[in-house]
Chains A and B, each alone.
Chain A
Amino acid sequence: MNARRALYFDGRSSRAHAVEAVIDGGELALHGDGVARREPLSALRITARLGRTPRTIAFADGAQLVLDDADDLDAAFASADRVQSWVDRIERRWRSVALAAAISVATGVLLLQFGVPWAAERIARRMPAAVEAGLGRSVLDQLDRWAFEPSTLPPARREALAQRFADLLEPGEDASVRIAFRHAPKIGANAFALPGGTIVFTDQLVALVGDEREFLAVAAHELGHERHRHTLRQALQGSAVAVLAALFAGDVSSAGSVVVAVPTFLLDGHYSRAFESEADEAAFATLVAHGISPRWFATIMRKLEAEASDTTELPYLSSHPPTAGRIARAEGLADGFEAALPAQHAAVH
C-alpha cells in the first residue's frame, strides 16, 4: 500500500511527529521525523469511521497515530467497532438516510397526534381526585386574584341557573361537579371547566343569555369538558410536548426556549380544537337527552361570536374550532331533532 502522511504522538509528550505510515503485510510501519516504528495490526485499535473525520490508531503503549480517513482502513483492522461500522455504512447510503428521516418524522407525527393524547388521557383518569381538586382550587385562586371579581348577579338569578344546571347532571354527579359565577371585566363572556369539577361562568356570559336554554347549551359544553377531564389533559399534553421538544432540540441550547415554546404553543391550539369538538358532541348529546334543541347552542354561539368580533383581531389564534363549523353542526343536529318534535321547538325560529 502507498505511504500516507500522518501525525504521530508518542503518548508521553504533546510533540507532533509528521511521519509516513505504510500498512503492509499485516503490519503498520512508521518512519520520518525521528520516528521508526513497526507494529502488527492486531496489536492496534482504530477509532470508528465517522464522516470524513480523521482516524486515530492507538498503540498499546499509549502512542497515537492520526491520519486522514480512507476506504481501505476498516478492512485492514479487524478490531474496528462492529456497531459503529454498521452505523457508518447506513450514514453513507442515501436510501437508509431517507429511511431514517421517514422513521423520525413518522414517529414524531404519531407521537404528537396519538401517543401524547393517549398517555395524557390514561394519566388523567388515574389521577387521584384530591390532586385534581387541589389543582382546580389553585387555578381558581389565581383567576380570583388576577381576573375575577365576585359575581354581581342577583342571588335569585344565580340560584335559578344553578337549579337548571343541576337538571343536566347524571345521578351522583352533583357530588363532583359544582358551578360558580364571577364578574370578569378583563375576560368578557366566557365559561371555564376547571380540574376537579368546578365550572365557572362569567356574569358577562350570563348577560348575553336570552333564553335559559342558551345557558344550558354552554353548561352542557363545559360539562363535556369536565366529564372528559379536558383541562387536566390539556395541561398534561402541554408538558409532554415541551419535554419532547426539549429532548429533540436539546443541543440547540442558545435559542432553546423559542424552539420549544413555538411548537408547544401551536400544538396546544391543535389539541384544544380536538377537545372543543369533543365537548360540543357531548353537549349536543346531553341537550337532546334533556329534550333541548342543539339550536340553542347555535344561537348562543352566534351571540358570543358577535361579542368576540368586536375585540378579536387574530381569530386564527383562537383555541376554538372555527365557529361557523360548530354552528352549522349544531343546526344540522337541531333540524333532525326538531323534525322529530316539531311543535315543541317552533318558538326558536
Chain B
Amino acid sequence: MNATVIDDGVGPAPAVGQAVPRTTDHRFEFSGDAREYFRIWIVNLALGIVTLGIYSAWAKVRTQRYFYANTRVAGAPFDYQAQPLAILKGRLIALVLFGGYALAGQFDVRVQLALALLIALLAPWLVVRGAAFRARYSAWRGINFRFVPDYKQAYIRYLALYLFVPFTLGLLYPFVKAKQKAFLVEQHRYGGVPFRFTATPGDFYPSYLAAFACGFIWSMLLSFVMVGAIGRHVSVDGTPPPMLVYGFPLLMYAGYFVIFAFLNASISNLVYNAVRLDNHRLHSTLRGSKLLWIYASNTLAILASIGMLIPWAMIRLARYRAECLTLLQAGDLDAFVATAQTDVDATGAEMDSVFDIDIGL
C-alpha cells in the first residue's frame, strides 16, 4: 500500500516496501484569498440585511466552508457540511431566548440577574452542544469528526471549578483552563479514534503566571507614572489634564493587548503540541510578536476602513495560524474508519455564538 499518494511533497519520497511506521511532516496550508473572500463577505452582509437576517444562516455556512475548504493538510482539504436550514432553526431559537433575556433585563434587575445565572448554568451544556455540532459537520478525507458529550465533566470543568477560583486569588485559573482544553481535545474522535491530550495543568502555569506578572508590573508602572504626572500637571482646581484621563486607560489597554497576544500564542502552541491521534501529533510554532503585529495591524486596518478590511484581516490571521501548524504523521493516515453518526441539532451551537461563549481550542 502506498501511504503517501497524496503527500504534499514536504515529506520524503515513498519507498515501496519501506518499514512502517515512518514519520512524515505535513504542513497545514491555507489558500484563502482576501479579494475573493471580500466578495463572499460583502454579499453575505448585503443579503443578510435585505432578508432581515434570515440569510445569515447561509452566510455562516459559506463563510465556514470557505475557511475549511481552503485549509489543507496532507493534500486533503477540510470540509464543513452543516446545512443552512439547521443553522437557521438554531439561530431563531437562540434569538428568541436572547431577545427575551435582553427585554426582561430592561425592566427588572432581579430578572436580569436570574437570567444571567440561568445562562451561567446553561454554559457547560452549550459548550458540549456547540462542540458536538461543529465536530459532527466537520470532515477530512471523507471521514467526520465527532465530539462525545460528557455533561458531568462539562459541568465540573466549565462551572464548578470556577467557583473555587476566587478563593485561590486566581491561582486556580490556569488549572481550570488546562482542564477545559483537555476536555475539549479528549472528547473529540476522528474515525472512531479518540484524541489524546498530553499536557498537564502544570504546563499551563508558566505562561499564565508570566502573563499575570507582566499585567501586574505594567499596572504598577503606569500607576507610578500617572501619580507623578498628576503631581506636576494638575491645575488649581484639582482637575487632571485630559491627556492623562484618556491616555492612561489607552496605555493600560495597550499593555494588556500585548500580553494577550503573547499568552494566546504560547497557550495555542502548548495545546496543539499536546494533541495526539494514534501516534500522529500536531506541531505549532506561533510567535507572540508576529501574532501581536497581526492583531494590531488588523485592528487599525479595520477601524480605518470602517470595517471593509475585515475579510482581509480574517484571511491573514487564518493564513498565519495555518502556516504555523504541522501534522507530524507517525504511521498510517489511511486507517481511520467511519463510524455511525446521528444528526446533531444546531440550537446549542447557535446559542453559544449568540451568547459569545468562547470554546475555541
Contact = CB atoms under 8 A, between A and B. Distances in A.
Interface residues of B, number: 67
A197 B80 CA distance: 55
A311 B43 CA distance: 48
B307 A56 contact: no
B46 A99 contact: yes
A54 B69 contact: yes
Nearest to A255: B299
Given A7-B75, A103-B50, A252-B298, A16 B334 contact: yes
Nearest to B302: A259
B342 interface: no
* Most chain B beta carbons < 10 A, residue from A10, A255, A262: A255
Contacts of B37: 51
A185 B237 contact: yes
B90 to A, nearest CB: 16
Nearest to B313: A252
Given A262-B303, A317-B246, A97 B69 contact: no
A104 B242 contact: no
Contacts of A101: 42, 46, 308
Contacts of B298: 252, 254-255
Contacts, number: 171
Interface string B8-43: 000000000000000000000001010011111011
Contact of B338 (A62, A96, A97, A310): A62
A248 interface: yes
A253 B295 CA distance: 10
Contacts of B253: 258
A87 B47 contact: yes
Interface stretch (B58-66, B146-154, B180-188, B211-219): B58-66
A17 interface: yes
Contact of B42 (A84, A104, A246, A258): A104
Interface string B233-245: 0011111011100
B335 to A, nearest CB: 7
22 contacts: A7-B75, A9-B141, A13-B335, A14-B336, A15-B141, A17-B5, A33-B5, A50-B40, A50-B62, A51-B66, A62-B142, A100-B46, A100-B47, A105-B306, A188-B239, A246-B356, A259-B303, A311-B239, A311-B242, A312-B241, A314-B243, A317-B246
Interface of B: 5-6, 31, 33, 36-40, 42-43, 45-47, 49-50, 58, 62-63, 65-66, 69-70, 75-77, 79, 106-107, 140-143, 191, 235-239, 241-243, 246, 253, 257, 264, 295-296, 298-299, 302-303, 306-308, 310, 313-314, 317, 333-338, 356, 358
Given A103-B49, A249-B302, 11 more contacts: A9-B141, A10-B142, A14-B140, A50-B66, A53-B69, A64-B142, A99-B46, A103-B50, A249-B310, A255-B296, A258-B303
